[in-house]
Amino acid sequence: MGPTHAYGYQWPPAGTLARTLLALIVVLAAGCSRPDTLTTVKAEGVLHVITRNAPSIYYQDREGPTGYDYELVQRFADHLGVELRVRLADGNTDILSVLDQGYAHIGFTGLSVGNDWGERFRSLANGLKSRSIVIYHRGGDYPGTAEDLAADGVVVHVAGESNHLRHLEGLKQQLPAFRYQIHPGLDAAGILQRVETGEFSAAVVDANELALNQVFYPDVKRGFSIGDQESIAWLFPASHDDSLYREAETFLEAISEDGTLAHLRERFYGHLDQLGYVGSLTFEKHLRERLPEYLDLFRRHGEETGIDWRLLAAIGYQESNWRRNAVSKTGVRGLMMLTRNTANHIGIDNRLNPEQSIEGGARYFRQVHRMIPNDVPEPDRTWFALASYNVGFGHLEDARRLAESAGRNPHRWLDVKEFLPLLAQKEWYSKTRHGYARGHEPVIYVQNIRRYYDVLSHRFEPQRERTLTAGTSTGELVIPSASNDYQNETGPREQTTTLVLPREMGITPPTL
């Protein structure tokens, strides 16, 4: 491997250099002075992309890298027949600097084609459009117009390095009383969080970012838009020739015509309401109509793995609403919604087979639970395992470290769940080992499963099966005590739930 540039760019290894030299010789023999960018990319076998963490662009989930732009450029790299190498920058300033120096072929900033790039970059619409939206706290008055904000003296807050600044400056020129404040250290999640808490009365965010995060910020209300809808841009260095740009343009036109682009938009933006809570009436209906078909399977594999079958059933309901043919936008499928890598690792051939899916989910949860430190007491250890099952062990550990650094208890879910959502904010995830995560999702995930588990515990008698538990040095089978009360965030005691889970479980699955 060659030397690494300050921004993470690595010079090609020896084999790549050999291929590049061969391409140069071929082109020189044809009478040309040097190969164009497209030829060089194909000869080296690598497409270099520079980007940043953002839910609408690129992030890591439990299945690996994802995000609209990431999935799109991966398809482009496959089209070229080359490897995709993604480098993460701290922000758009760094991305633009890397592109200015020609150290990457394409940059993703989330900025629009409407920006004045001068002679620096060629911009190409990526198939997404968005606009700048004024948001406000639910408890405040609805700001119908910019004139209302100016008249009321409301300061509008905005993240730095965004599409919104030129729109806000335009309003400022039209309305001298209009005020806005730029926050260079915040991203969209940081702005949304401060509107949610009421620290900011009003702000401006990207419509796509708002759509992706709205469920996590129920006290944030959408106001009016400023500026027209604009296409989001891929940026190509103007210092490179336009051969790669033209190939990308042709590629995007082709997948727009064959429906691939529309399918990708649907995958990331078509079902955003699926993260909402399932109503109690719907759950009761599914208890009567769907659970009986799988009840024996949950009981059998719960007994085999030493996990309370009602917990397995609650996980299955959260994952798929007990639908055997469920398929997510990312291709996770089956009643327990296993990834392909997880299914392969635990030896599951058919994820759509309910018995295999439930067996695989039970075995996978055993492995995840095993990773949680032994000194975390129950039921918190189970809540941590559920969060890890959803977002990945590394991100959970990041949240625990943040909690500990703030003087909170890293062994207590009540404390750690306050820090998981911070992993979506740049000011926090930049301090962690594993970076950005949609940290609100595991909090909602655990909360939902606990609700479903409580209902199942009421509807069905406590589990009769004896299970090996912590502290039994002789290996004797005992039934755990039901004495652990769990304190929720508001103080009152919740109903006691005894989760029958083994202390020693299998190996670490590769998907984590």
Query: What pLDDT sits at residue 19?
Result: 52
Distance of CA 51 to the CA centre of its chain: 15
Digit-coded pLDDT (tens) for 1-14: 443 443 444 444 44
Model pLDDT, residue 33:
65
Active-site residue identified among 196, 319, 359, 397: 319
CA distance 393 to 396: 5
Handedness of CA 500, 503, 504, 509 (dihedral sign): positive
Contact 68, 443 (CB under 8 A): no
Confidence at residue 450, expressed as pLDDT on a 0 to 100 scale: 85
Query: How does 312-342 read in b/e, with b if 16+ C-beta sit within 10 Å?
Result: bbbbbbbbbebbbebebebebbbbbbbbeeb
Q: Is the dihedral of CA 436, 440, 446, 449 positive or negative?
A: negative
Q: Which amino acid is it at 385?
A: A
Q: What is the DSSP letter of 509?
A: P
pLDDT at 15 over 80: no
| Mean pLDDT of all residues in 90-95 | 90
Instruction: Report phi then psi at 182, rounded to 5.
Output: -95, 135
Per-residue pLDDT tens digits for 440-486: 999 989 988 988 887 888 788 654 333 322 222 222 222 222 323 22
Average pLDDT, the chain: 81
Q: Are strands 155-159 and 179-183 parallel, antiparallel or unpaired?
A: parallel
Does 492 have pLDDT greater than 50? Answer: no
pLDDT at 253: 96
Q: Is 427 assigned a catalytic role?
A: no
Q: Which long-range contacts (CB under 8 A, 24 or more apart) does 454-458 make?
A: 454/494, 454/495, 454/497, 455/280, 455/283, 455/287, 456/310, 456/313, 456/314, 457/310, 457/495, 457/497
* CA dist., res. 97 & res. 84, Å (int): 20
Residue among 221, 35, 207 at smallest CA distance from 143: 221
Residue with the bigger pLDDT between 489 and 213: it is: 213
Task: Report the run of H or E that residue 92 belongs to, with start and end.
Answer: helix 92-100
Give the model's confidence band at 55: pLDDT under 50 very low, under 70 low, under 90 confident, else very high.
Answer: confident
Rounded to whole angstroms, the Cα distance separating 88 from 85 reads 10
> Minimum mean pLDDT among 87-91, 324-328, 389-393: which range?
324-328
Beta bridge partners of 47: 84
Residue 372 has pLDDT above 60, yes or no: yes
Q: What is the predicted pLDDT for the residue at 285? A: 84
Instruction: State the maximum Cα–Cα separation within the chain, in Å, rounded to a whole number.
Output: 83
- Rounded Cα–Cα distance for residues 133 and 213 (Å): 13
**How far apart are the C-alpha atoms of 350 and 325, rounded to whole Å?**
11
User: Which of 137 and 460 is assigned the larger pLDDT?
Assistant: 137
Q: Whole-angstrom Cα distance, residue 13 to residue 10?
A: 8
Region 481-508: mean pLDDT is: 29
Report how far apart, in Å, the C-alpha atoms of 38 and of each of 47, 138, 264, 474 are: 10, 50, 25, 67
Tell me, letter by letter, the H, E, C secondary structure of 271-303.
Answer: CHHHHCCCCHHHHHHHHHHCHHHHHHHHHHHHH
Asked if pLDDT for residue 428 goes beyond 90, the answer is yes
Lowest mean pLDDT: which of 49-53, 255-259, 278-282? Answer: 278-282
Distance between CA atoms of residues 164 and 512, nearest Å = 37
